[in-house]
A and B are shown apart, each in its own frame.
Chain A
């Protein structure tokens, strides 16, 4: 059951991010679209974390979720400050819309779970989500970004997200299968 949910989520996310990667490599995504996708990805993880705080009593899961809210909120505040400084606005795009749709479906799946089943599924999703987002940011968005300051911001954000990936990996191991 959990494996099925995990693989389903991973496959869906891979398809969405794969599509965005191809678009960026083709020159189809500009900086403002990349900014919108990155901002959306942050917001999605904040929503997952808020769900975890609603559904979980596990201290480790709750601490992780609080860190996700704190860090992704801080990254997005900094992103908006940079965009304001650059006089630019994030630009909505099909990839952001696809990400939001996949995330809504994933939240529905998670909401159906209780107790340790929820905790394990949430942690597994956090690991897979950060793995795929990080891969896309590192291999596609950073090389594609045109503005030097924005490119550096993505590099800095990637350090944050990679730390989260490591944290999620430990959480998955601690919660067991």
Chain B
């Protein structure tokens, strides 16, 4: 009986230990992921996107800032994401996910304005 109880305690201890290790490992992994996520800033000025192309990884965030006097948009070529109308100094953030639509994007008001996102 005492041996059985001792065995159960060992199993519970092992389970708790494994759980703790998993939690710590998960936390570390999570921290590592968030630490490596980057923010890419794209300025809109003079009717152009600067930089015109962004190479981003899953988890990264792209922030567009309109520095022009006139309104612009940043809109996926397939319409999957859209900043909507951005007045002067307005910002729009897009977090890159595995299924985020990449490739060319445009300003819907000024079709000559084209940028591109490539996901690593």
Contacts and interface: CB of A to CB of B under 8 A. Distances in A.
A18 B56 CA distance: 51
Give the secondary structure class of A's interface.
helix
B42 to A, nearest CB: 18
Interface string B76-112: 0000000000001000000000000000000001111
Nearest to B110: A163
Contacts, number: 32
Interface in B16-35: none
Nearest to A162: B47
Contacts of A70: 70-71, 109
A74 interface: yes
Contacts of A67: 109-110
A157 B47 CA distance: 11
Interface in A135-177: 156-157, 159-160, 163, 166-167, 170
A100 B110 CA distance: 27
Interface string A60-73: 00000001001100
Interface string A78-122: 100000000000000000000000000000000000000000000
Contact of B69 (A78, A166, A167, A170): A78
A124 interface: no
Contacts of A38: none
Interface of A: 67, 70-71, 74-75, 78, 156-157, 159-160, 163, 166-167, 170
9 contacts: A70-B109, A74-B69, A74-B71, A156-B46, A157-B69, A159-B47, A160-B68, A160-B69, A163-B112
